[in-house]
Amino acid sequence: MAVVELRSFISRAACSVTRVRKVCTVPVVGSVGRTSLSSSLLGSRELETFPRAARCRCSSPRTVACASNASVDAAEQVLTKLHERCILKNLSYTDLEVWVESIGYKKSQALMLWKYLYGNGKWAATIDDMTGLKKEFKSTLQNKAQLEVLNLVKVHEAADGTRKIIFAVDGGTIETVVIPCATGNGRNTVCVSSQVGCAMNCQFCYTGRMGLKRNLTTAEIVEQLVVACRLCTADMGAVTNVVFMGMGEPLHNADNVIRAANIMVDEKGFHLSHNKVTVSTSGLVPQLRQFYRESKCSLAVSLNATTDEVRNWIMPINRKYNLSALLGALREELSQRPNNQVFFEYVMLAGVNDSLEDAHRLVELVQGISCKINLICFNPHSESGFRPSSMEQMLLFRDVVATSGTVVHIRRSRGDDQMAACGQLGSLGSQQAPRMRVPEQFLAAVAAL
């Protein structure tokens, strides 16, 4: 859209805001469910005229301007009120170009701004840090843009060099984990969170005991990587991998997660490889399909059981999308993408899912799916009575799977002495998610529950 059209839109929108008042129901970013909002709304014509790419999301629950007859998705993406700042890290590069033009500058300024946000090792914390931008453009950004959305609280470092970064956000705190390479392979991984808490209530996961407080915005997800790079690359080296395996179920916040992942792989910014950015899911089938449509990044599925009975217990989402539905969807999606493969994550719980019979069933379940399997040592915490499988049992389990020709690895814990390992993130409040009834045959295995 030409700059003159955008300016015309802003002028028309300003008039609309003064004369139109309606009531509509839209999901507000940062809230759960839908909230009825009474607000000054843009007319439907203005909303349709303004390109979807340039509509910013709010960073916290608030009243937003939207068209009463617009779709729910469009309502979430309306440009924030004219007097509010645009949160830059919510925008893709194309969105940023449109926004820069809308405030009267050339697209070339968007490229420079993008590189200060994500490229060339700059990771600017303030607009003043963007020393190469024109003075007038910086002044405009000071008035119209917002860079930072997270408040850094503390950094914990584990004995193995793993770091847990704690941020304060509306609704609580979130945690990001930086895992430096341990074997000299040069792989430095940042594990980002996608929600404050989690609604999935996986019985072995500390975060799952929190329940869900709210989704994180695109900006709040991307900024975790920015801050991790800023804090750690000087002594650790460049970040090579990002995994969406922190707090929350990533595909329960699919739109923001997919947008954040796509920002991370943009060649003008972080320029991470698509196969080095991995989004994990407990098995939300519709959102899994959405992910494959909208992103080229890698997918990891937390499987963790080989029967519906066990998975219904330890991962309640299985009651909605059982193993057959989940694996069927994966087979269908991957058949259309012959160069893709999926990672299966399998947390080993002593006496629950670690028998050799489980190993044989696992081989049968994944037959015909291009995949790699990661066996993960369970990391104990105060809210779980599960026990980790012995290394001897994990090796036996691995050998059964490997004999079938499936690629399988044992993933060892990192950062567990600082509650920074897989399944240990978060802090419990006064209200916690309920525990599921333990099947009778597993009572001895989880006697402490």
User: Alpha-carbon torsion 108, 109, 112, 118, what sign?
Assistant: negative
For the ranges 234-238, 265-269, 325-329, 431-435, the lowest mean pLDDT is seen at 431-435
Per residue in 333-371, pLDDT tens?
A: 999 998 999 999 999 999 999 999 999 999 999 999 999
Mean pLDDT for 63-87 is 48
Helix (H, G, I), strand (E, B), or coil: what is residue 210?
A: helix
* 422 part of the active site: yes
Annotated catalytic residue: which of 56, 202, 205, 422?
422
End-to-end CA distance of the chain: 59
Give the Cα separation of 418 and 256 in Å (integer): 28
Per residue in 237-290, pLDDT tens?
A: 899 999 999 999 999 999 999 999 999 999 999 999 999 999 999 999 999 999
- The pLDDT value given to residue 424: 43
Annotated catalytic residue: which of 46, 97, 175, 345?
175
User: Alpha-carbon torsion 339, 278, 212, 27, what sign?
Assistant: negative
User: Alpha-carbon torsion 225, 226, 230, 231, what sign?
Assistant: negative
pLDDT exceeds cutoff 90 at 47: no
Helix (H, G, I), strand (E, B), or coil: what is residue 232?
A: helix
In CATH, the architecture of 151-442 is Alpha-Beta Barrel (3.20)
In CATH, the architecture of 85-147 is Orthogonal Bundle (1.10)
- For the full predicted model, state whether its pTM sits above 0.85: no
Q: Where in the chain is the domain with CATH 3.20.20.70?
A: 151-442
Give the Cα separation of 32 and 30 in Å (integer): 7
* 58 part of the active site: no
Helix (H, G, I), strand (E, B), or coil: what is residue 196?
A: strand
Taking CA atoms, 80 is separated from 47, 75, 105, 224, 285, in Å, by 12, 11, 19, 23, 32
Helix (H, G, I), strand (E, B), or coil: what is residue 35?
A: strand
Q: Where in the chain is the domain with CATH 1.10.150.530?
A: 85-147
